[in-house]
Amino acid sequence: MSDLSLLLDDATAEAKKRGHGVVTPAHLAVVVNTKYSAEVATAWQPNVVTEAEAVLASLPVTYDSPTVLPETEALRDELRAGDVPTILTAVAMAVEALPPPVPGDVAATGLTIPQAHAGWTSIVAADESIIGRDDVVLQILDAFDRKLPRPVLLVGAEGSGRTSVGAALAGALDARGLKVVRVDSEVAAAQSRNAAITEMLRLAQGKGVVMIDDIEIALGLGYPGGFNGNLLDSLRASMADASSHLLAVVATSYLARLQGTDRELVDEFELVELPPLPVDTLHAVVQTRAVDIATFHGVTIGDDVVSAALASRENGDVDDHPSLALRRIDVAAVRAARRGAQQPVVVTDLPLTAPVIRRVDPAELAGRLRPEVVGQDAAIERITSRLAITVAELDLNPHRPDGVFLFAGPTGVGKTALALALAEKLFGSSDAIVRIDMSELHSEHTTAKLVGAPPG
């Protein structure tokens, strides 16, 4: 008979993976069930593994170095004996002797959210009234229901309704008895939450979908805390299990950065784009949600206010529609409520400013530049011709800059003068320019002026 006491090391590793600070007989039961599944099937009652998982789900996630409990250590003699039937009996009795677990947030499916996960993990309420996103939900279900299921990366602008898609998905899965569990990346962004996120994926296997909202925050993409590569490694391991359904939500502006960080992992996801809603659908969405705002503030909101709230984004606006329009309507309702109960919201209550329209007449611009940059008519013509394409709205890629120019020539011909004149004519001031003098960056250490000093 072989010495199977190394199973305790496996149980310790299991506890560490789950973020538990203690090693209980329940951890050992999970390990034994994995390594001796055939023997377990004939020797154990089905509730042994269920009870073990319930105990583990109730343990606090502390990420401390695991300590082996006395009742777990007491099983070492049976493990050393190496007799599998004896081990199975001893482990089952030890699990049954454990105190009953503290109940967590249990859904109708038996999906349990441990108390240690409260505050940053929640079950999404089903909402089948979401308008205009049926096709997006269908694409997500297509990825999950394949013979070889794939995790989904939902890409959309902030405020475009990405979180609402989770509620609509919960509505579609409700008939199957499945739930959607949302992970709040704002709270879970700390690196110590990695194991807990993957633990939530394990708990949801076969019982629902884990939705990591704003995953760019949890990964630290562009945030002061730095990139969280450990979370990507944890996700990669979890995604290997086909029964673990993962829906990650990322802002459009961070997709390219995520692809540049780990293109192979991103390719394992099914990319689902969240397109802008058609104008009439967008109006219907905002109009429906505005009813709740009006009721809350005790005011009335007319259709004209909804239409005005759907005006284009302004400088400083972060959210996209429909969230942007609803935020504007909420502020307008507050202003109307201050005037008295049941007051109608008027368009002037909306937090809108007059749109700034910068139209450039290429011919007129060239005429204003020539007297200031003498002798460079050919360069001026090339610049204004490029800007004419933007003015005519004929850009093939309108999201790109209006023009990218390289001024080449010997010293003193007017390269800098032309750049300053362009800034003044286009933006009203020659100070509207960011100037980097490369002559000041000729040494390796001087690059600190541009990118900052290295750590230490």
Is the pLDDT assigned to residue 292 strictly greater than 90?
yes
* Alpha carbons 429 and 108: distance in angstroms, whole number: 63
Residues 112, 106: contact at Cβ < 8 Å? yes
Q: Which of 64-68, 171-175, 437-441 has the highest mean pLDDT?
A: 171-175
User: Residue 207: left if φ>0, alpha if ψ -120 to 50, beta else—which one?
Assistant: alpha
- Burial of residue 203 (number of CB atoms within 10 Å: 0-12, 13-18, 19+): buried
Helix axes of 362-369 and 415-427: crossing angle, nearest 10 degrees = 130
| pLDDT range class, residue 139, cuts 50, 70, 90 | very high
Express as a percent the part of the chain with pLDDT over 90: 23
- Over residues 95-116, the mean pLDDT reads 63
According to the model, what pLDDT value does residue 191 have?
A: 44
Distances from the Cα of 296 to the Cα of 289, 327, 391, angstroms: 11, 14, 44
Q: Which H helix or E strand runs over 216?
A: helix 215-218
pLDDT, tens only, 6-42: 889 999 988 888 778 899 999 999 999 888 888 888 8
pLDDT at 195: 64
pLDDT tens for each residue of 389-448? 877 767 666 667 778 889 988 888 888 889 888 888 877 777 778 888 777 777 777 777
- For 356-393, the pLDDT digits (tens) are 445 667 888 888 889 888 888 899 989 888 888 877 76
pLDDT of residue 21: 83
Q: What are the tokens at 327?
A: 């935020």
Candidate from 58-67, 78-87, 119-128, 274-283 with smallest mean pLDDT: 58-67
Contacts of 132 (CB under 8 A, 6+ apart): 277, 278, 281, 282, 284, 285
Q: Is residue 297's pLDDT more than 90? A: yes
Is residue 269 predicted with pLDDT exceeding 80?
Answer: yes
Mean pLDDT across 65-73: 89
Give the β-pairing of 152-156 and 179-184: unpaired
pLDDT of the residue at 177: 84
pLDDT tier, 108 (very low <50, low <70, confident <90, very high otherwise): very low
Mean pLDDT score, 134-162: 91
Least confident of 164-178, 249-263, 267-281: 249-263
Give percent of the chain above pLDDT 70: 83
In 114-265, the DSSP E strands lie at 121-123, 152-156, 179-184, 208-213, 245-251
Q: How far apart are CA 336 and CA 299, in angstroms?
A: 7
- Which has more confidence, 307 or 204? 307
Q: Mean pLDDT across the chain, nearest whole number?
A: 82
pLDDT band at 241 (very low <50, low <70, confident <90, very high): low
How much is the pLDDT for 117?
64
**Per-residue b or e along 149-184, where b marks 16 or more CB atoms closer than 10 Å to that residue's CB:** bbbbbbbbbebbbbbbbbbbbbbbbbeeebbbbbbb
